[in-house]
Amino acid sequence: MNWSALESLLSGVNKYSTVFGRVWLSMVFVFRVMVFVVAAQPVWGDENKDFVCNTRQPGCTNVCYDSIFPISHIRLWALQLIFVTCPSLMVVAHVKYREGKDSKYTAQHQGSHLYANPGKKRGGLWWTYLVSLIFKAGFDVAFLYILYYIYHGYDMPRLYKCALEPCPNTVDCYISRPMEKKIFTIFMVVSSALCVFMCILEMFYLVGMRLQKVLKVWQANERLLFAEHNKVTNIALPRSSYIRVDPTIGSQQNINRQKKAEEAAATGL
């Protein structure tokens, strides 16, 4: 597969990503795609050829190999990388849709724009970006579970005992370079877990920034309503209507005196 083409396609997502999204994309291509292409594929290249069982029974070795390796790690990781990176294309497609819509609007309205910045994460694009993060994290978690379920963990045994037909009895089968394969398996699993963690951090960041903006708008509206309310209800009273506070009497009595003076001034107005 031409991974460089996928990298060039997804590099455009960096323009619309947060700092967490840029870190996630770097982790995918440095710690997953590069390791997958350079190191992982050669390690699993001999898994079928060097899988040996101590029997000469025709078909026994193939049956035992299919039992311990229901699906190749390489093919499973290739599918995982494809599924994990594809949701980012949703954001690119949405931005392109906005740009096309804005260009049509500009042509019809003599140069005015529908979007000041089509790549700004507001409205529908914000939701598209959030959904893409959910899909990316969900695909990674799903493939981690599939790998764990198929191979009953992330370990790579040195010896595998097989008693399936057409084997005449329980035979011993040996996997080539099990420790090296175990190390790469754990590395890919940890890399996937870190990518999931980065997606979760980015979700919290997006939601937090959105709530902060909503709170600022709410506070601004509250201040505006309060100012308008004061303009309507704040009636300037004449100076003679204010009563000097008498320190020799109780506070409640002073309040009552002030209220009476205000009522008298209001009736006079």
Q: What is the pLDDT of residue 139?
A: 94
Contact 178, 73 (CB under 8 A): no
**Residue 178 and residue 52: Cα distance in Å, rounded?**
13
Q: Is 224 exposed, middle or buried (0-12, 13-18, 19+ CB in 10 A)?
A: exposed
**Residue 92 and residue 86: Cα distance in Å, rounded?**
10
**Residue 178 and residue 176: Cα distance in Å, rounded?**
6
Angle at 142 between CA 137 and CA 147, to 5 degrees: 130
> Which two tokens mark 134?
């959910």
Q: What is the pLDDT of residue 8?
A: 63
Beta bridge partners of residue 34, listed in sequence order:
none
**DSSP labels, 100-156:** HHHHHHHHHTTT--S-S-TTS--THHHHHHHHHHHHHHHHHHHHHHHHHHHHTSS--
Q: What is the pLDDT of residue 196?
A: 94
- pLDDT tens digit string along 111-169? 777 777 777 777 888 899 999 999 999 999 999 999 999 888 888 888 888 888 888 88
Beta bridge partners of residue 53, listed in sequence order:
173
**Residue 212 and residue 32: Cα distance in Å, rounded?**
34
**Residue 145 and residue 142: Cα distance in Å, rounded?**
5
Which 8-state DSSP code applies to residue 237?
A: P
165: which residues sit within 8 A by CB, 6+ positions away? Answer: 63
**Residue 142 and residue 152: Cα distance in Å, rounded?**
15
Burial state string for 232-245 with b = 16 or more CB within 10 A and e = fewer than 16: eeeeeeeeebeeee
Q: What is the pLDDT of residue 21?
A: 86
> pLDDT tens digits for the chain (269 residues)?
555 666 666 666 777 788 888 888 888 888 888 888 877 777 776 677 778 888 888 888 888 888 888 888 888 988 998 899 888 888 888 888 888 887 887 888 777 777 777 777 778 888 999 999 999 999 999 999 999 998 888 888 888 888 888 888 888 888 888 888 888 889 999 999 999 999 999 999 999 988 888 888 788 877 777 777 666 655 444 544 444 444 444 455 555 665 666 566 556 54
CA distances 102 to 12, 15, 105, 125, Å, are 19, 18, 5, 14
